[in-house]
A = this chain, B = another copy of it.
Amino acid sequence: MATKLDKVKQEIKSRILDGTFQPNQKISSESELMKQFAVSRHTVRAAIGELVNKGWLYREQGAGTFCADRSMDSRLMSGSNQKNIAIITTFISEYIFPSIIRGAESYLSKHGYNVSLFSTNNDHSEEKRILEKILTEQFDGVIVEPTKSALSNPNISYYLNLERQQIPYIMINAYYDELEPVSITMNDEKGGYVQTEHLIQLGHTNIVGFFKTDDLQGVKRMKGFIKAHRKFGVPINPNGIVTYDSSGKAAKPVEALARLLSVEQSARPTAIVGYNDELAILMLDVFREKSISVPEDLSLVGFDDSYMGRLTEVKLTTIQHPQSKMGETAAKMIVDMIKEKNSQQRKSPEKVESVVFEPNLILRSSTASLQLKKHVTL
């Protein structure tokens, strides 16, 4: 015999199927259904509960019970309820990446997601391999740090395919300009500006900037470097900007630096803007070799506030990078985007929007005013 519960369930389902309850429309309240079917609230709730579980209805406390829109989510349902997020970064175990990843991992695992890690080693073909893998398997969202973001990217079509398959993704640190994706970045131009401004305000006029220009960060920081010079009316040296890319990461800037330092004392730069702390530390090694004191002989500003810059003998003045905060923000946003996608138009109050972190200068001991410097060397 059919139980009351079954009857109530069946009847509600009928009303959904025959259109009495339209998608996203509020259905009768529990107390009304109690009257209509002459059953207890418990029975009504149990019936509704099962239909909610099966995806026919959804409830909102204080508002009511609503008919779900089952028009398209059938394929979404069919898949496993495993929640997987992929994180793609250029590197995973170096520099500031562990912190970024930790921030994301911590938030995601707290919210029931699995985190899968991939690193491109800053190589487009690796990026391609990983994107293919992600498209093949089932991921609910992707957090990606673009590989060589300043260069034209051969894998754009894979990202477009993510969109086509309705897999949300967000980019961190930089983004591929063509895609205009949701992103979480530093204000790198401002950062480069702040680095340079700090040195100019300390009296430096012969400043050399080193920038890695195969990613967007470097290009933007360079732009800020130039802007600060313009703003303060300080002319930029010929040879005042050194650019390099990932392949020449170690060698080229060091060589360029050696060249710059080999000229007569008066023509030497008195300050250096580094693309990031990693580069700045590389330079500290060169200075140590050449017995150049920082900051007495030369000021140096890094970028990213890496732990590395705090452990060296000369603590680096640098620009703060949110690191784990960035990871956490990215995690929060991708979860929001997944939720939003799954609730689809039911109510989409706030669209997830890109976040830009503003740079803060962290003053440590690698910079000093030019006056002080002259004082010391007298």
Residues of A whose CB lies within 8 Å of any CB of B are 50, 53, 78, 80, 82, 84, 92-94, 97-99, 101-102, 105-106, 109, 114-119, 130, 133, 137, 308, 311-313, 324
Contact = CB atoms under 8 A, between A and B. Distances in A.
Given A53-B53, A137-B114, A98 B109 contact: no
Contacts of A130: 109
Nearest to A77: B80
Contacts of A308: 311
A94 B116 CA distance: 18
Q: Please tell me how many copies of the chain the complex holds.
A: 2
Nearest to A312: B311
Contact of A93 (B102, B133, B313): B102
Contacts of A101: 92-93, 117
B119 A105 contact: yes
Given A94-B98, A97-B98, A105-B119, 19 more contacts: A82-B137, A84-B116, A92-B98, A92-B101, A92-B102, A92-B105, A93-B98, A93-B105, A94-B102, A98-B98, A101-B117, A105-B118, A109-B118, A114-B133, A115-B116, A115-B117, A116-B116, A117-B117, A311-B311
A198 B97 CA distance: 36
A367 to B, nearest CB: 19
Contacts of A50: 53
Nearest to A95: B98
Nearest to A136: B82
